[in-house]
Chain A
Amino acid sequence: MTEPVIGEPLVVGAGVAIEYDGFRAVDSADFVVRRGEKFVLIGPSGCGKTTLLKAIAGFLHPTAGSIRLDGVPIGEPGPDRTVVFQDFDQLFAWRTVLDNVVYALGVAKEMRGEAARERARAMLRLVGIEAAGDKYPHQLSGGMKQRGAIARALALEPRILLMDEPFGALDAITRSQLQLDLNAIWRETGVTIVLVTHSIQEAVFLGHHVAVMSTTPARIVETVDTSAAQDMDTPEFLRLSHHLRSLLITPDSAHRSVQTAVE
């Protein structure tokens, strides 16, 4: 299988600081997301991962520094940066799963009628829930809802797909399955992905680069190249996991909870 090509920088954050009413959540963060890669943000709970992701999406704006997409500062949220949230309630409850995707296509891509339905069906097929297209979100399992949200986000052909712990609330089996499926989807679409996670295993398995964040105010401590470790049984995978672990957990900060279990 031909892997998508990872290219030049797509999103560049330089000295990014983000504040909530004077409370500094992210402080002088520098990072580079390359076109076509899977970029992972990992860090202790409450450090500012979601905050940084929302800033890339355009929901929050840096109080210092800048985040640029293809050289242009990020503006308001838009369908070129679709977000998959951690919550299970992100599909519109009043539309079937298929209609959620069809509706998004209509709003964001002016695509309607049979063309939109065809594309929506293809997306549900891609994430493996085509059979559930006519169900309402409340009739789906948590994992299926996340798949539906991923299908809707991907259908809009975003320049970048932002995922905030999309598998965080799922059981270990479903989570592993979705990790594999996400890799397959990435190979098929070549979409650039920024993914937030708590799990070191997930970070090394999915990421080409893993940016490790410190506690609040969060900086990016180190960006680790994990592109060589996609196979869990290799020594390289273990070595990188240990390295990330040592960055995240230092003996004097044992209270910083990071999920390290290998699921």
Chain B
Amino acid sequence: MRARVHDPWLRLPAPLRYAIVIVVLLSIWQAYVSFSHVSALLVGSPLDVANQLWTDVANGKIPAATLHTLQTLLTGLLIGALIGFALASLAVFSSVGRDLLAVLTAVLNPLPAIAILPLAIIWFGLSDRSIIFIVTLATIWPVAINTDTGFRTISATTQMVARNLGLRGPRLVVDVLLPAAMPYILTGLKTAWAFGWRTVVAAELVFGVAGSQGGLGWYINTARYYLQTPQIFAGLVVISVLGILVEGLFSAVESRTVVRWGMKR
């Protein structure tokens, strides 16, 4: 392997390196569309997509759809995470709670949340409540399982110190168990976010078919309906960029918590 310092590519700053890679990839894509005479109905060129993005951001379509999706997702994620924490806390304090968590995760975790959508529609109709419901289902288990593991791997010494101080109940959970299990909890939330994200977009696509108005999935589906291929690409770009931003958000939270505390490098 070459020593890092002698690699001229690595001497460039990281953002510049990534920018170059992106530009090259986009150029290849543009060149393919411009010179291969592929139908514009099948593949939008980067320039068309950029144009479309610009138009739909300016006219408010994309911001509205994004906001709608994020709202649905965050509501479901919040409810799911709270239930997940509660289940994990219950499992720490009582053996019944422990069995409850074991049974519930064994039965419900393997179900893809999107498979519950038909049932949710029967219960809640073609409304956002159906989507929030299945996003909640998609996010409970990753949070519950990871938090539970986090709680159970807290060192015996830390637990004894907490008892020695006289901590118990909710204060023990919030002040000691949560921060001590933070690496696991963040992993759980990250996974929950990823599951929730996939679920919400998939559900909106289905809703798009059903003609109900809404978020990014609906935006993409409408574009498909009118064969607006650049618009489909624009929707995908937005979803991807949001994913990158959230990834950055999690990194920022990590560097302020578990990294600062020496729990993770």
User: What is the total of A-B residue contacts with beta carbons within 8 Å?
Assistant: 61
Closest to B263 in A: A93
Kindly provide the distance from the CB of A84 to the nearest chain B CB, expressed in whole angstroms. Answer: 10
**Residue contact A85 to B262, C-beta cutoff 8 Å:** no
**Residue contact A136 to B164, C-beta cutoff 8 Å:** no
**Residue contact A104 to B257, C-beta cutoff 8 Å:** no
**Residue contact A90 to B166, C-beta cutoff 8 Å:** no
**Residue contact A79 to B157, C-beta cutoff 8 Å:** no
B30-44 near A? 1/0 per residue, CB < 8 Å:
000000000000000
Interface membership of A89, Cβ < 8 A: yes
Alpha-carbon separation in the docked complex, A258 to B166 (Å): 35
> Interface residues of A toward B: which range?
20 to 34
**Residue contact A78 to B261, C-beta cutoff 8 Å:** no
**Residue contact A92 to B176, C-beta cutoff 8 Å:** yes
**Residue contact A107 to B158, C-beta cutoff 8 Å:** no
Residues of chain B contacted by A36 (CB below 8 angstroms): none
Residues of chain A contacted by B59 (CB below 8 angstroms): none
Alpha-carbon separation in the docked complex, A81 to B260 (Å): 31
Closest to A94 in B: B179
**Residue contact A107 to B166, C-beta cutoff 8 Å:** yes
Given A77-B160, A93-B261, A136-B262; A108-B180 close (CB under 8 Å): no
Can you report 23 residue pairs joining A to B where beta carbons are below 8 Å apart?
A: A59-B163, A76-B163, A77-B160, A77-B166, A79-B164, A79-B165, A79-B166, A82-B164, A83-B160, A85-B160, A85-B161, A87-B155, A92-B176, A93-B180, A93-B261, A93-B262, A94-B180, A94-B182, A94-B257, A107-B165, A107-B167, A136-B261, A136-B262
**A residues in contact (CB < 8 Å) with B:** 57, 59, 76-79, 81-83, 85, 87, 89-90, 92-94, 103-104, 107-108, 136-139, 156
Given contacts A77-B166, A79-B164, 14 further A-B contacts (CB under 8 A): A59-B160, A77-B160, A79-B166, A81-B164, A85-B161, A87-B155, A87-B157, A90-B158, A92-B176, A93-B261, A104-B165, A136-B261, A138-B262, A156-B165
